[in-house]
Chains A and B, each alone.
Chain A
Amino acid sequence: MEQRTRGLLTRRIELLPDGDQRQMKRFLRALMAFLILQVLVFSALTVIQTLRDSGNYWGASIDKHRRLEEAPSPRMILIGGSGVALGIDSEVLKQITGYNPINMSLAAGLGPEFMLGEVVEDLREGDLVVVVLSYEALLGNTANRCILGLLHSNPGAIRYVSDPLKLSAMYFSHFGNQLRNAPRAAWELLIGSLGLRTPTPGELRWRRSSFNIYGDVIYERVHSPDLVEQYYRFPEMSDEYPGNVIDLLNDFQSICRSRGATAVLSYAAIPDSTYSLNHILIERLHMKLENELRMDIIDLPARMALPYEFFSDTHYHLTREGAAERSRILAKSILVWHGGRSVSRGS
């Protein structure tokens, strides 16, 4: 292969007149050497970026997977976006249901396929998997634009990517961004280590250490009316929606069954005002899911419509009080689904 490539290059150069050949070869040699140097620099900067990013929000993925491997049964695995990461109080769930919660959620931008694929390897008999997808995802938005960010912090998570070709295409389409971020990471690390840079409030909040052992975000969150849209309108559902998501969930349910685990669906918590605005759409969606989904739906959308004051900075992120309240509702739904008994008391 190498010989063939070299042969091709030589033939190209041989198209040049004799006098130019030496000059061109010399130029190309220097250019190739310089490019190789830049590839090495890029690799080094990418490693530095991974070191830096392992401490950020996505870095929590490493801890979540460790807990997924180590947590004792009976386990409740929570899958969802940031609305679950910032919307669940696992202590409350544990107390009421008796399950050992593992909150695997990070961001809806990872896409349902990746989020579901992440836990498949570690499913055990008796696991309860609670899937809480955002309304956008249930309505068909399965974008996974955040995967590259997560892979920088946790390169090992690449094994959960179902389509490496798609990932490669995504990597190359974001290559310019990677070229931009790699030197920034090194620079920030350098000036940070010299004490010349203080982390931004966002960086202080969105980092790995903001999670508790269950995987819930625990930093203090207050209701910010200027950030949370009180009446958020969801995109309309077209006729073919949400076929792809339903197929994904049904396939996931089959895998869970084959491992002796059970998957159920719960709805995302949203402000009651937003629910009122979208209730026709949401009810249509609920009907469709009830008809087509082979997974149990353990609550109703209206039950997860909470007071507006429980939401911190988006219509999915809850304050700590909101997270506790939502967890109580979810725990009760699980108990009802279980027939009224908590797991620790024997089901």
Chain B
Amino acid sequence: MLFNSFSFAVFLPLALALYWSMQKAPLKMQNVFLTAASYLFYAWWDWRFLGLIVISSSTDYFCGIFIHGSVTDRRRKGFLLLSLVINLGLLSFFKYFNFFVDSFAHLLSELGINQSIHTLRIILPIGISFYTFQTLSYTIDVFRRKIEPTRDPAAFFAFVSFFPQLVAGPIERASNLLPQFFRRRSVDYNLAREGCRQILWGMWKKVAVADFVASAVNLIYTNPGNKDGLSLWIGSFLFGIQIYCDFSGYSDIAIGTAKLFGFKLMRNFAVPYFSRDIPEFWRRWHISLTTWFRDYVFIPLCGGADHKPGRIRRILAVLGTFTLSGFWHGAAWHFVAWGFLHALFYLPGMVFRRRKLERAFHPGSGGIREWISIMATFIAVTFAWIFFRSPTMSSAVSTAGRVLNPAMFIMTENAWLHSHALGFLPLCLMVLAADWFTRKRECPLFALENWKRPFRWAVYTLVLWSVFYHLPQPDVNPQEFIYFQF
């Protein structure tokens, strides 16, 4: 079920009405209901893959208990390994099997060995990367003795499958989300109001901006070999806006929806395009994934939280973490290259910075130098998007070559394309301006808090009707969120 579909518009109020009318029922009943609602939400897409969620949830539920109950380290490690093998095994099979087979076949042909190797027709189960990471983090945290395992299956299954964040995050940590399933949720007017605002803003970003801008991006990235350097830069800039609005829009809707049920999810985006360097960008972009990779990949690669690694080891850890992060996004070399490129952009700041800069989290006080840093970071991120958006590695390399070649800017036959694509500029600037002026808040609409109700509602009404204005035509299905494919 898509958040931007009619079925979700019916599902959400019904689920909410039933959920809140069970307030006097035992907490366990509410959690069972949430699990059932989440499974229905997922099954709307394809019920056959519900089994994977059940396998993943059961594995980690029992592994958590067994790890905690094990006396010897060997047994503890054994159960952790079991969880890793099952979860990563499912992920690898469904997401990476064909990639490895293809890459192996390609390698053989490069070596002059011609073998006909067949791939399987595997459907990628939606959200598998997200819930696998979420449930894995629970087991690893139990193993690290950071949290106690739960013996309440209703709460745990609800935690893994909680529908607002099931298919595209935020990837919640058990330490934040799981305890919320043990507390009685009470109706909170302010929280519900915040949730509605966040859903509205997320819908606007997704429907009115991301899906709208996508038409220009698709136009430019269809046969990029025919486009000049300027068109490709514009395309990459627009894609940057598209993916930001698509994914942060999804996160806003997820967080807002969770608030309607009385849950607080972690923030996933914090004005990333106003970052002053790449490390800061990654503290602001897809925060739940970045922190996951930091805690479960980067820190172990550095030798653990208590270990101070040398410079070389840290560099290797950064390269490894980002490359793996790129691979997490998609089973293709251009995603790996995207991750690696970000690692290269990340390293100078880490290697050459003499001391850790103590910066305010919110930019806006550093004057012209700060703006230059923001612009430079933005350009680097925009360049890297080429690798993310291109359909193949060779296309990405060719496009990157064209945008860096000054000779490619003198082509004039794409003048129409420039004017067409630049028509989207006001909308993009509006998104960036909204982010900038409300950068200290989780959602731009929260900035209206102190406005008088008629003015506030006038803005909400404008935003809402702008969403309706951009709804797809009746014979066109609503566009999926980009991150669903990961």
For the complex, is A37 an interface residue (Cβ under 8 Å from B)?
yes
Q: Which segment, of B173-181, B356-364, B469-477, faces chain A?
A: B469-477
For the complex, is B461 an interface residue (Cβ under 8 Å from A)?
yes
Q: Contact between A38 and B461 (Cβ–Cβ < 8 Å)?
A: yes
For the complex, is B46 an interface residue (Cβ under 8 Å from A)?
no
Q: Which segment, of B55-63, B184-192, B419-427, faces chain A?
A: B184-192
Q: Contact between B469 and A187 (Cβ–Cβ < 8 Å)?
A: yes
Interface residues as binary, B160-203 with A (CB distance below 8 Å gives 1, 0 otherwise): 00000000000000000000000000111100110010000000
Q: Contact between A20 and B468 (Cβ–Cβ < 8 Å)?
A: no
User: Which residues from B are CB-within-8-Å of A180?
Assistant: 468-473
User: Which residues from B are CB-within-8-Å of A34?
Assistant: 457, 460
For the complex, is A23 an interface residue (Cβ under 8 Å from B)?
yes
User: Which residues from A are CB-within-8-Å of B72?
Assistant: none
Q: Contact between B187 and A37 (Cβ–Cβ < 8 Å)?
A: no
User: Which residues from B are CB-within-8-Å of A26?
Assistant: 189
Q: Contact between A15 and B23 (Cβ–Cβ < 8 Å)?
A: yes
Q: Contact between A16 and B464 (Cβ–Cβ < 8 Å)?
A: no
Q: Contact between A12 and B21 (Cβ–Cβ < 8 Å)?
A: yes
User: Which residues from A are CB-within-8-Å of B17?
Assistant: 12
Q: In the docked arrangement, what's the CA distance between A211 and B474, Å?
A: 29
Q: Contact between B193 and A27 (Cβ–Cβ < 8 Å)?
A: yes
Tell me the A165-199 residues at the B interface (CB within 8 Å).
Answer: 174, 176-177, 179-180, 182-184, 187
Quote the shortest CB–CB distance from B87 to chain A (angstroms): 37
A-B pairs with beta carbons under 8 A, tally: 65
For the complex, is B345 an interface residue (Cβ under 8 Å from A)?
no
Tell me the B14-41 residues at the A interface (CB within 8 Å).
Answer: 17, 20-24
One of A16, A31, A37, A184 near B461 (C-beta < 8 A): A37
Tell me the A92-140 residues at the B interface (CB within 8 Å).
Answer: none
Q: Contact between A16 and B24 (Cβ–Cβ < 8 Å)?
A: yes
One of A16, A17, A23, A177 near B189 (C-beta < 8 A): A23
For the complex, is B416 an interface residue (Cβ under 8 Å from A)?
no
Say yes or no: A179-B23 contact (C-beta < 8 A), given A23-B187, A27-B192.
no
One of A24, A27, A37 near B457 (C-beta < 8 A): A37
Q: Contact between B187 and A16 (Cβ–Cβ < 8 Å)?
A: yes
Q: Contact between B188 and A17 (Cβ–Cβ < 8 Å)?
A: no
Q: Looking at B196, B461, B474, which has the most chain A CB atoms within 10 Å of its CB? A: B474
For the complex, is B6 an interface residue (Cβ under 8 Å from A)?
yes
Interface residues as binary, A18-36 with B (CB distance below 8 Å gives 1, 0 otherwise): 0110011011001100100
For the complex, is A213 an interface residue (Cβ under 8 Å from B)?
no
Q: Contact between A24 and B20 (Cβ–Cβ < 8 Å)?
A: yes
Q: In the docked arrangement, what's the CA distance between A25 and B94, Å?
A: 46
For the complex, is B465 an interface residue (Cβ under 8 Å from A)?
yes
Task: Bin the interface of chain A by size.
Answer: 20 to 34
User: Which residues from A are CB-within-8-Å of B472?
Assistant: 180
Q: Contact between B474 and A19 (Cβ–Cβ < 8 Å)?
A: no
Q: Contact between A177 and B474 (Cβ–Cβ < 8 Å)?
A: yes
User: Which residues from A are CB-within-8-Å of B468?
Assistant: 179-180, 182-183
Q: In the docked arrangement, what's the CA distance between A102 and B23, Å?
A: 66
Quote the shortest CB–CB distance from A300 to chain B (angstroms): 37
For the complex, is A336 an interface residue (Cβ under 8 Å from B)?
no
Say yes or no: A177-B473 contact (C-beta < 8 A), given A12-B21, A16-B20, A24-B20.
yes
Q: Contact between B465 and A174 (Cβ–Cβ < 8 Å)?
A: no
User: Which residues from A are CB-within-8-Å of B461?
Assistant: 37-38, 41
User: Which residues from B are CB-within-8-Å of A174?
Assistant: 474
Q: Contact between B469 and A184 (Cβ–Cβ < 8 Å)?
A: yes
Quote the shortest CB–CB distance from A192 to chain B (angstroms): 16
Considering only CB atoms, which chain A residue lies closest to B470 in the complex? A180
User: Which residues from A are CB-within-8-Å of B187?
Assistant: 16, 20, 23-24, 27
Interface residues as binary, B440-484 with A (CB distance below 8 Å gives 1, 0 otherwise): 000000000000000001001100111011111110000000000
Q: In the docked arrangement, what's the CA distance between A311 and B29, Å?
A: 68
User: Which residues from A are CB-within-8-Å of B196?
Assistant: 31
User: Which residues from B are CB-within-8-Å of A19?
Assistant: 186
Say yes or no: A15-B457 contact (C-beta < 8 A), given A27-B187, A27-B193, A176-B471.
no
Q: In the docked arrangement, what's the CA distance between A46 and B145, Å?
A: 61
Q: In the docked arrangement, what's the CA distance between A37 and B461, Å?
A: 8
Say yes or no: A17-B24 contact (C-beta < 8 A), given A27-B187, A37-B461, A41-B461.
yes
Quote the shortest CB–CB distance from B239 to chain A (angstroms): 25
User: Which residues from B are CB-within-8-Å of A12?
Assistant: 17, 21
User: Which residues from B are CB-within-8-Å of A31?
Assistant: 196
Q: Contact between A38 and B24 (Cβ–Cβ < 8 Å)?
A: no
Q: In the docked arrangement, what's the CA distance between A31 and B188, Å?
A: 14
User: Which residues from B are CB-within-8-Å of A24?
Assistant: 20, 187
Q: In the docked arrangement, what's the CA distance between A15 and B21, Å?
A: 6
Considering only CB atoms, which chain A residue lies closest to B195 in the complex? A27
User: Which residues from A are CB-within-8-Å of B193?
Assistant: 27, 30
Q: In the docked arrangement, what's the CA distance between A339 and B21, Å?
A: 78
Q: In the docked arrangement, what's the CA distance between A180 and B6, Å?
A: 13
Quote the shortest CB–CB distance from B69 to chain A (angstroms): 36
Q: In the docked arrangement, what's the CA distance between A16 and B23, Å?
A: 6
Q: In the docked arrangement, what's the CA distance between A5 and B147, Å?
A: 47
Q: Contact between B6 and A176 (Cβ–Cβ < 8 Å)?
A: yes
Q: In the docked arrangement, what's the CA distance between A126 and B192, Å?
A: 68
Tell me the B212-257 residues at the A interface (CB within 8 Å).
Answer: none
Considering only CB atoms, which chain B residue lies closest to A29 in the complex? B189
Q: In the docked arrangement, what's the CA distance between A38 and B462, Å?
A: 10
User: Which residues from A are CB-within-8-Å of B474?
Assistant: 174, 176-177
Q: In the docked arrangement, what's the CA distance between A174 and B471, Å?
A: 12
Tell me the A141-184 residues at the B interface (CB within 8 Å).
Answer: 174, 176-177, 179-180, 182-184
Say yes or no: A17-B6 contact (C-beta < 8 A), given A24-B20, A34-B460, A41-B465.
no
In the assembled complex, 12 residue pairs joining A and B whose CB atoms fall closer than 8 Å, in A order, are A16-B21, A16-B187, A20-B186, A24-B20, A27-B189, A177-B471, A179-B468, A179-B471, A180-B471, A183-B465, A183-B466, A184-B469
Chain A: residues with CB nearer than 8 A to chain B?
12, 15-17, 19-20, 23-24, 26-27, 30-31, 34, 37-38, 41, 45, 174, 176-177, 179-180, 182-184, 187
Chain B: residues with CB nearer than 8 A to chain A?
6, 17, 20-24, 186-189, 192-193, 196, 457, 460-461, 464-466, 468-474
Known: A31-B196, A174-B474. 18 other contacts (CB 8 A): A15-B22, A15-B23, A15-B24, A16-B20, A16-B23, A16-B187, A17-B24, A19-B186, A23-B186, A23-B192, A27-B189, A27-B192, A34-B457, A34-B460, A38-B464, A176-B474, A180-B470, A182-B468
